[in-house]
């Protein structure tokens, strides 16, 4: 595995993700995670509320960062440009540890409940970005459409990035935006 | 309320939706629904597996109809044109009973679990449409992007339609597609 955050939290996250991947999420117990990380179960619960939280505890921070980037976009930015700035912030966050992002994605894809949870988190972020666009004076429907389209662009780019060895997530996002323009131009 | 399908199934659906709206989904019991519809609980279970199924039993049929429309689109249709044909079939289905669609939507929006369920059903339909586009020879990422963008267009159009008194759902979808073109052209 690649670079993980240091300390017991980082070791626990690495142990958990590897176990989820090896045995499946359902089959992994908190005691197994703690044992592999060389700590007690009590220590696990100092870092994570439960074993699902290992996968989703970054969602709030990610949403905050993306919203801050959207708000910092120049006033002249079009709605999709502002959304692109938000996605760029997400990409910067995710790219800090590609191995973690990929392992996490593989674990989520292998479990229907986790896929649903991920879908809900992404929808939540999309709604937050739409609200951010409304605060920039964008009309209600236009704001939703820009945010949800951006979310679609991100999901498609992320899946391509996960499967590729030498693709930058930011480049994948740019390519998806270009593909979107081609799709709508030929419509 | 408007036109519902006839017979005990239709009466049960009408009773259920009105009770969910009046009392909340959680607070409504199957016995209450059966009583209002003038049938027994046993009859309820001949039509619906549980009280949530009243809201989601059309999803499979809707997905089937949209996929058939996508498959029937001319070979020369662009990916988004094929998706638009699928959405047109969805709109035709939904427009058959505007009151039912609106009541259903109000009930779903009032409950977090139901909102998540609806999100998952829409994601499922989007994935099915992406698969349908791939079978038409569209590239993997392009197919996902067209289907997910179409799904965003539909959701935004549907919300506008629900809030409007004199808007046709098909017109709302056309307007959202036009808005999408404007968004991507100014990007």
Q: Residues A21-54: pLDDT tens digits?
A: 999 999 999 999 999 999 999 999 999 999 999 9
Is residue B122 scored above 80 in pLDDT? yes
State which residue of chain A sits closest to B179, comparing Cα positions: A142
Q: Which residues of B38-69 are buried (b: 16+ CB within 10 A; e: fewer)?
A: ebeeeebeebbeebeebbbebbeebbebbbeb
CA-based nearest distance B126→chain A, Å:
11
| Average pLDDT estimate for B181-187 | 85
Instruction: Give percent of chain A above pLDDT 70.
Output: 96
- Residue A145 has its nearest CB partner, among B116, B153, B186, at B153
| Average pLDDT estimate for B1-30 | 86
Is residue B2 scored above 60 in pLDDT? no
Q: What are the strands, taking DSSP E only, across B33-186? A: none
Task: Report chain B's mean pLDDT, rounded to a whole number.
Answer: 93
- State the pLDDT confidence band at A121, using cuts at 50, 70 and 90: very high
Kindly list the residues from chain B whose CB atom is less than 8 angstroms away from the CB atom of residue A82. Answer: none
How far are the Cα atoms of A90, A108, A114, B42, B83 from residue A26, in angstroms, in the given order? 28, 11, 10, 35, 36
State which residue of chain B sits closest to A186, comparing Cα positions: B78
Q: Give dist(CA B19, CA B28) in Å, integer.
A: 6
Q: B174's torsion region: left (phi>0), alpha (psi -120 to 50) or beta? A: alpha
Residue A183: count of CB within 10 angstroms of its CB = 22
| Average pLDDT estimate for B39-64 | 94
State which residue of chain A sits closest to B141, comparing Cα positions: A156
Kindly determine whether residue A145 and residue B79, on different chains, have CB atoms separated by under 8 Å.
no
Is residue B187 scored above 80 in pLDDT? no
Kindly list the residues from chain A whose CB atom is less than 8 angstroms away from the CB atom of residue B181. Answer: 184-185, 187
With CA atoms as reference, report the closest residue to A128 among A87, A157, A165: A87
The reported pLDDT for the residue numbered B170 is 96
DSSP state of A1: -
Q: Give dist(CA A138, CA B72) in Å, integer.
A: 37
Helices A140-163 and A169-185: crossing angle, nearest 10°? 130
Instruction: Give percent of chain A above pLDDT 90.
Output: 87
Assessment of whether the complete model's pTM goes beyond 0.95: no
Range with lowest mean pLDDT among A95-99, A147-151, A168-172, B168-172: A95-99
Is residue B59 scored above 50 in pLDDT? yes
The reported pLDDT for the residue numbered B1 is 42
Question: For B75-117, what is each residue's pLDDT tens digit?
Answer: 999 999 999 999 999 999 999 888 899 999 999 999 999 999 9
A177-181 own/partner pairs: CB under 8 Å, 24+ apart:
A177/A80, A177/A84, A177/A153, A177/B187, A179/B141, A179/B142, A179/B145, A180/A149, A180/A153, A180/B145, A180/B149, A180/B184, A181/B184, A181/B185, A181/B187
The reported pLDDT for the residue numbered B6 is 66
Instruction: Give percent of chain B above pLDDT 70.
Output: 96
Structure tokens at B128: 């099915």
In the three-class reduction of DSSP (H, G, I as helix; E, B as strand; rest coil), residue A9 is classed as helix
The reported pLDDT for the residue numbered B143 is 97
Kindly list the residues from chain A whose CB atom is less than 8 angstroms away from the CB atom of residue B159. Answer: 141, 144
- Residue B145 has its nearest CB partner, among A116, A119, A156, at A156
CB A123 within 8 A of CB A61: no
Is residue B3 scored above 60 in pLDDT? no
Kindly determine whether residue A184 and residue B184, on different chains, have CB atoms separated by under 8 Å.
yes
- Residue A81 has its nearest CB partner, among B81, B120, B187, at B187
| Average pLDDT estimate for B141-146 | 96
């Amino acid at each position: 595995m690649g670079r993980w955050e240091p300390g017991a939290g980082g070791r626990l996250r690495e142990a958990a993700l590897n176990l989820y991947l090896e045995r499946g999420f359902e089959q992994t117990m908190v005691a197994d995670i703690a044992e592999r990380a060389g700590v007690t179960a009590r220590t696990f619960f100092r870092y994570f509320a439960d074993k699902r939280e290992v996968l989703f505890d970054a969602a709030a921070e990610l949403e905050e960062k993306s919203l801050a980037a959207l708000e910092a976009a120049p006033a002249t930015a079009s709605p999709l440009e502002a959304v692109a700035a938000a996605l760029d912030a997400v990409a910067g966050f995710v790219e800090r540890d590609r191995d973690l992002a990929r392992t996490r994605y593989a674990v989520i894809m292998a479990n229907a409940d986790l896929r649903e949870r991920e879908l809900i988190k992404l929808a939540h972020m999309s709604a937050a970005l739409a609200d951010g666009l409304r605060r920039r004076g964008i009309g209600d429907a236009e704001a939703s459409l820009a945010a949800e389209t951006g979310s679609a662009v991100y999901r498609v780019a992320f899946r391509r990035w996960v499967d590729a060895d030498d693709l930058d997530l930011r480049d994948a996002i740019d390519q998806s935006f270009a593909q979107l323009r081609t799709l709508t131009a030929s419509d």
